[in-house]
Structure formats: structure tokens, C-alpha cells
Amino acid sequence: MELKQINDHCFYFKGAVNIGYIKSEEEGILIDAGLDDSAIKKVLKQLDEKNWPLTHLFITHAHADHFGGAAYLKKKRSVKVYAPELESAIINYPKLEPIYLQNGNNPYKQLRNKFVEGKPVLIDQTCSDGSFKIGSIDVTLHNVSGHSYHMLALQMNDVLYAADSYFDEKTLNKHNIPYIIDGLETINTLEKLLTIDVKGAVPGHGDYEENFKSTVEKNIKYHQTVEEELLKIISREESTPIEKVIAEFCKHCGVKIENLTSWALYRTAVSAYIKKVVEDGQVEMTFEDNYLSLKRM
Ligand SMILES: [Zn+2]
């Protein structure tokens, strides 16, 4: 976790998942807490060496790679923890993630791992979008849902901590099918990011960029391409069971599913794109022989 400085107040620890840091004289806010104890320990070590303050933790969304280290942090330090409404419920009861990933069933034990189930953390205060005060530091929170239900990006003056609202190019290409839970909200959020007036942004995965809006544009194009390819698969037959569409689409994208976690994540992501094309009227849902199926309009 290499510490990177953006300006006098804004920093981030660069890792597979970035951890943001905002500092004033007496207060320090971490933005997200990394995947596990080891990630947050590296951050604490560096803050301690510099004797920099740590008083608050803001969790952007309830994905284990962003809050998995929070339980350790809360045990070791007296920090006040903030998270968005709804996301807070999952952070308090992280078993909810494998539950929803498995269609509401009590999850298989293979789905109860640190990548989809962080350690529980009690949130001190939930928040929503708008102007907000963390300690004495003024920030603006932006609802950037689409990748998660109520993810919030945090703006401090002219720097945006964008969470997973967009991905850098490397991350986009690595996952082939980016993880989202709602295709329409994802696009609306990306378009909203283009209107936020800041000097630069740091995503949850990737580097701080002043020119982040061109990366956001690339994200929009990427999602549009995914949608076009998905529509081609749905158009192959008169109607196709949704599970077959998901499997065929993963194959088309070069994804080879070999465990329950990746099955659950890809299934959710492809379903999010399917939801979009159903909601915008390009595809119809039908029931054929008890299969939920998709039909091109
Ligand atoms: Zn995430």
C-alpha cells in the first residue's frame, strides 16, 4: 500500500483496492478499509510512522474488498464509522451478501469466504447524498449506485473519491464483464460523474487521474459494447432461458466459471445488464416450460 499524495489534504494508499485518506490538523478520515486485516495494518503502520491522525472511517459500499479491514481497525482504534444507508445493513450483517448472491437461500459454505463476506462492523452513523460533515471536515457525498445498491462517492473540495463508480481501463479489461447490480443505474451514474466539477478523481481500483472523465467515457462505451454483445446472444433464438443466456454470454466473453463465488458474481453482473435491456423495452421476459426466458422485442 504505497501512500500517494493528491494535494495538501487528500491522499490515498494505492493497492489492489485503494484506501483514501483525508487529513486536517487534528482529524484523519480513511475512505474504505481494504479487503482484510493485512491491508489495514499496512495503512496504520504508515500513519503511525508519520504520526498522522485517524479519527473517522467512511465506507463507500458494502463489498468485502472495501470494508473487510474495518473490524480490525475498529478494534484497534477509536474511530467513528460512517456508511451509506442500506449498505450499512449489509456491513452490520455481512452474511446478507452471500445470501443475496445465492437468490436468497441460506448460502452454501463455499460462498462464505472473505471475498464476498467481510467481518461485521457496527456503523456509527448512516449517510445519504448531499453536503455532510465528517468531524469538522466538510465533504459532499454523491449517490453513485449501479455497482452496488447505495454506493456513495466522497468529494473533498476538488477531489473525488469515486469508489467503484468507474474502473480504470486495466480493471475493466481484466474482468471482461464488470461487476454491476443494475445496468441502467450504472450508466446514469457514469453520466452524472461527467457533470461533477472536480480537478480529479481516484477510483476504488486504479490511479488518481485529473483526466478521469475520459476514463468515465471509456466505461460508458465499454458497457454499451457489453450490452450489444448480450443482445446478439438473446437474439439467436426465439426465446432463451435466462440461465442459458448467462452461460452463453460468459463463454462469449472468455469467462470460465470454476467456483461458486465466480458463478454468483458473473451471474449477478450479467443479470444486471439483462435487467437494463428488459427495462428499456429491448427484451421481454417470458415463462416457457417453467423457465424464465428472454425474448428480443
Ligand atoms: Zn465494489
Q: Do 129 and 234 share a domain, yes or no?
A: no
Distance 277 CA to ligand 1 centre (A): 23
Whether residue 232 is predicted with pLDDT greater than 80 in this model: the reply is yes
DSSP per residue, the chain: -EEEE-SSSEEEEESSS-EEEEE-SS-EEEE---SSHHHHHHHHHHHHHHT----EEE--S--HHHHTTHHHHHHHS--EEEEETTHHHHHHSTTHHHHHHTTTSPPPGGG-STTT-------SEEE-SEEEEETTEEEEEEE-TTSSTT-EEEEETTEEEEETSS--HHHHHHHSS---S-HHHHHHHHHHHTT---SEEEESSS--BTTHHHHHHHHHHHHHHHHHHHHHHHHTSS-EEHHHHHHHHHHHTT----SHHHHHHHHHHHHHHHHHHHHTTSEEEEEETTEEEEEE-
The 10s digit of each residue's pLDDT in 275-286 is 999 999 999 999
Task: Give the CATH number of the domain where residue 248 resides.
Answer: 1.10.10.10
| Domain final residue, candidates 167, 194, 222 | 222
Question: Which residues form the domain of 265?
Answer: 229-296
The answer on 214 and 105 residing in a single domain is yes
Cα 147 to ligand 1 centroid, rounded to whole Å = 6
Convert the pLDDT of each residue in 25-70 to its tens digit: 899 999 999 999 999 999 999 999 999 999 999 999 999 999 999 9
Centroid of ligand 1 to alpha carbon of 185 (angstroms): 15
What pLDDT is attached to residue 175? 73
Q: Say whether both 126 and 233 belong to one domain.
A: no
Both 211 and 69 in a single domain? yes
Residues 24 and 163 in one domain: yes
Distances 72 to 40, 41, 120, 246 between C-alpha atoms, Å: 8, 8, 10, 37
Provide CB contacts within 8 A for 81, sequence distance 6+.
Answer: 56, 57, 58, 59, 70, 74, 121, 122, 123, 124, 125
Supply the CATH number for residue 140's domain.
3.60.15.10
Which of 33, 150, 140, 137 lies closest to 81 in space, CA to CA?
Answer: 33
How far, in Å, from the CA of 85 to the mean position of ligand 1? 16
**Could you tell me the distance, in angstroms and rounded to a whole number, from the CA of residue 116 to the centre of ligand 1?**
10
Average pLDDT, the chain: 96
- Give me ligand 1 centre to Cα 10, in Å: 21
Residue 174: all three cell numbers together: 481484466
Distance 107 CA to ligand 1 centre (A): 20
First to last CA, the chain: 49
Question: Sorting pLDDT into bands at 50, 70 and 90, what band is 120?
Answer: very high
Whether residue 58 sits in one domain with residue 196: yes
d(CA 43, ligand 1 centre) in Å = 20
Work out the average pLDDT over 109-126: 95
Torsion sign, CA atoms 275, 279, 280, 284: positive
Percent pLDDT > 70 in the chain is 100
169 pLDDT band (50/70/90 cuts)? confident
Q: How far is the CA of 236 from the centre of ligand 1 (A)?
A: 32
Instruction: Indicate whether 125 and 241 sit together in one domain.
Output: no
Q: What spacing in Å lies between the alpha carbon of 161 and ligand 1's midpoint?
A: 13
**pLDDT given at position 173:** 80
Q: Cell digits for 240?
A: 432463451
Please tell me the distance from the alpha carbon of residue 80 to that of residue 30, in angstroms, as a whole number. Answer: 10
Q: Are residues 49 and 184 in the same domain?
A: yes
Q: Are strands 137-143 and 152-156 parallel, antiparallel or unpaired?
A: antiparallel
Q: At which of 167, 200, 222 does a domain end?
A: 222
Average pLDDT over residues 85-100: 96
Q: Look at residue 199 and tell me whether its pLDDT is greater than 90.
A: yes
Overall number of domains in the chain: 2
Ligand 1 center from residue 115 Cα (angstroms) = 10
d(CA 297, ligand 1 centre) in Å: 32
> Quick one: 181 and 59 in the same domain?
yes
Tell me what pLDDT residue 171 has: 85
pLDDT at 56: 98
**Interval between CA 3 and ligand 1 midpoint (Å):** 21
Overall average pLDDT of the 166-194 stretch: 92
CA of 143 relative to ligand 1 center, distance in Å? 14
